[in-house]
Amino acid sequence: MTASTTTGRTPVSLRDPAQLLAALPCVLGFRPENSVVLIGHRPPGTRMGLVLRADLPPKSMRRRQADALAPRLAASPHTGVTILVIGGRRRPGAPPPHSGFVNRLGEALADQGLRVLHALWTPEITAGKPWQCYQDQHCGGILPDPRSTVAAAETARSGEVVFDSRDELEEMLVPSDPEAIGRRAERLAILLEPPWPDADRIASAGAEIRTALERMSRGLGLPGTDDEIIRLACALEVKEIRDACLALADPPGTAQARQADVLWLTLVRELPAPERAEPAALLAYSAFMHGGGAFAGMALENALDADPDHLLARLLAEAIEGGITPDRLRCLADVPTLDDLVPPGFSPGGTG
C-alpha cells in the first residue's frame, strides 16, 4: 500500500535527522508503522518535495517495490532523496534492519539520476526510541517527543488532527449507518430527474450546497435526513456545481475549506455507490491541496470503489501517482464559485 503527499505548510527540517523522523506523523497525518518513507529534496535541496510512504516489503518483493517507487520521485524536480525506515529490531553490533532494501532503493534511485542524501532507521516514532543512520554507524541518537516538534506546533495551531495509525484514519470513511444508506440507494435508483425545475437546475443545486455550508458555519449541525442527503447528492451530480465545490479547497486551512471537508466527509459516510464518488473525489482534492496525501489516496480509493469510471477521481489518482504537486493542481479550483452561480437570496427550487 503506497501513498504520496507533500508537506503543504508543515514546517519540517531536512537537516536534523531526529526532528525529521519525529515530524513524520504530522507530515503524513498518522503515525507510520512498518513503513518506508521517501522524501524528495526540492532545489536548492533544503525544501521538502514529494513524500512517498509504502509498507515495508518482504524480501521477495524488495526489487519490485524499489523499482516502483524510484520513478515517482524522478517525475518531479528533486536534488536528492532521504530514505526513512520505520520498523524492525536491530541486533547488537549489526546494521539497522532492512539495509538490503535500502541498498536496493539507492540503486533504483541512482538509475533515475537521484542521489540518496540520507538513509535513517527507527523502530517506531515514539519519544526515547533510538534512531540510526544506514551510511554511518556513528550517526544516531534518541528521538524527541513528536509532540515537541515545530511541525506538531503548526499542526495543532491549524486545528489538524494526527492519527495514531493508518487504520484509524481509514475508519473516518466507513459508512455510518448501512441501513440508512440502503434506503437512500433505493430512492436514488428510482429518481429519474433532479428535484428542481430544469431552468433553475444549476442555481438550485448550488443553493443546496451553500445552504448546508451556511448551516455549519452557524453551528446548526450537518444534514442528516434522507431528503437532505439525497438533495445534496443530486446537487453534486451537476457538473458546474461539483466543479465550483473544488474552489472551496483553495486556499487550504480556511474556515470555508474546513467546513467543506466536513460536509464531503459526511456525504461519503452517508451516501451509497455510485453517488458517494462525488464527495469522495472532492474530499481527496482538498486533502491533497493541504498536504494530506495519505488521506487523499484513501478518499480516491473510496471514490473509485463507488464508481470505477469516475473521471475526476481517475484524473486525480493519475496525477498524484505521477508525482504532481498541489501547486500544479491548483488550476482545478480556478472555476466559477458557488456565489457566481447562485444569485443572492436564491433558495432551492425557486427564487426567494
Burial of 351 (0-12, 13-18, 19+ CB in 10 A): exposed
Predicted pLDDT at 124? 95
Per-residue pLDDT, 351: 39
What's the pLDDT score for residue 168? 78
- What pLDDT is attached to residue 11? 56
Measured CA to CA, the distance from residue 52 to residue 2 in angstroms comes to 7
Supply 109's cell numbers: 534511485
Per-residue pLDDT of the chain (352 residues; tens, 9 = 90+): 555 555 444 556 677 899 899 988 888 888 899 999 999 888 876 678 888 889 999 999 999 999 999 998 887 788 899 999 999 988 887 889 999 999 999 999 999 999 999 999 999 999 999 999 998 888 999 999 887 765 555 554 454 556 667 777 788 889 989 999 999 999 999 998 888 888 899 999 999 999 999 988 887 777 779 999 999 999 999 999 999 999 999 887 788 888 999 999 999 999 999 999 999 999 999 988 877 777 888 899 999 999 999 999 999 988 887 767 788 888 888 889 999 999 887 876 543 3
Distances (CA, A) of 169 to 74, 164, 296, 328, 337: 28, 8, 11, 26, 30
State the amino acid at position 80 in one-letter form: G
Provide the pLDDT for residue 118.
93
Angle formed by the axes of helices 226-236 and 201-217, nearest 10°? 120
- Domains of the chain: which residue ranges? 2-160, 169-351
> How much is the pLDDT for 156?
47
- Please state which of the four CATH numbers 3.40.140, 3.40.50, 3.30.230, 3.30.160 is assigned to the domain occupying 2-160: 3.40.140
Q: What is the per-residue burial (b if ≥16 Cβ within 10 Å, else e) of 189-207?
A: eeeeebbbeeebbbbbbbb
